[in-house]
Structure 1
């Protein structure tokens, strides 16, 4: 789960090691892609170029609240057109957000970093992918041609780890 039943990421799901890993990954990305309800709320956030998925625009539009952001309606316009509008034609795109956003790109990820906090339970929470909890996140990633790499421990005390799931060659 990404959030609790109120669609809020509770404090018990926040770990310093995971936050540091996430922040570093976003700092390396050329473009951040997320849903309109997602945000990182970090010191570097205003400096990051981003595409925000929304149905509140017809196709693509600049975000009036953020000069580094492009609003994109994926139902009407291809992702590549949104990237061109954002001024990005190559590089790393970091996809963050909820199950709908993650689900749209399942067949396009080169790598998906799956963090797990095994001692946190969020009954009725927001799942990470469409199809969870009927299937595990790992089963869904594997079904889309991704294979697990070596997990990296982010928080020893709480056993929080991140595993890279890479596209098969």
Structure 2
């Protein structure tokens, strides 16, 4: 059985650690061009993506990407009807090894792109987590990047799982967009 060589996460969050508003929609305030460029560049490095049923990158390249869609609606693994190059995956019924094998992959990079459940599922396993922050944006009652937010901050949860921050990078100073890559 094979596993990915690396597992990395990519998320943009508000000041209060949210990835979407209370209705589950990513607001325009989190759709910043500099972050989208970084996000798409990182997706191009991945052998496969992991996301939940309401997450995904969209855009013209989405159909060519291999992916695992986390769900509790299947017992273990099943083809994702209508989604090319995708498998539905329930981690309670099939291991990551089995899911990776089902995609026909060996080694390489697995990138987690959301939502809260998938991001949380991999907290103990990330080799790196790319956390963009849209400063000045708050989404009270929104969907958090990880389970446990609040009361914890995303940075607290990443640190508690053994990841350490690299220096903060400004992706777009005018928009208040910064990036911190956390590595094991």
| Same fold? TM cut 0.5 | yes
Equivalent positions of 1:26-37 (< 5 A) are 26-37=43-54
> Is the CA contact (8 Å cut-off) linking 1:4 and 1:10 kept in structure 2?
yes
Provide the residue aligned with 1:89 in structure 2: 106
Give distance in 2, aligned partners of 1:22 and 1:75.
Answer: 28
SS of 2:34 mapped into structure 1: helix
Distance apart, 1:150 and its partner CA: 1.6
What's the CA shift string for 1:101-124, capped at 9, x where partnerless?
111111110000011111111111
Return structure 1 stretches of 4+ with deviation > 6 angstroms. none
CA RMSD of aligned residues (A): 0.9
Give distance in 2, aligned partners of 1:23 and 1:5.
Answer: 25
Give distance in 1, aligned partners of 2:134 and 2:76.
Answer: 37
SS of 2:143 mapped into structure 1: coil
What's the CA shift string for 1:23-67, capped at 9, x where partnerless?
111111011011111111111110000011112222111112123
Per the normalisation by structure 2, the TM-score is 0.88
Give distance in 1, aligned partners of 2:182 and 2:86.
Answer: 28
Gaps of 5+ in 2: 1-17
> Is the CA contact (8 Å cut-off) linking 1:50 and 1:68 kept in structure 2?
yes
Moved more, 15-24 or 52-61: 52-61
Gaps of 5+ in 1: none
Does the alignment pair 1:2 with 2:19?
yes
Greater length-normalized contact order (CA 8 Å, ≥ 6 residues apart): 2
Give distance in 2, aligned partners of 1:159 and 1:67.
Answer: 36
Provide the residue aligned with 1:65 in structure 2: 82
Count of aligned pairs:
167
Provide the residue aligned with 1:153 in structure 2: 170
> Is the CA contact (8 Å cut-off) linking 1:119 and 1:158 kept in structure 2?
no
Provide the residue aligned with 1:126 in structure 2: 143
Does the alignment pair 1:101 with 2:150?
no
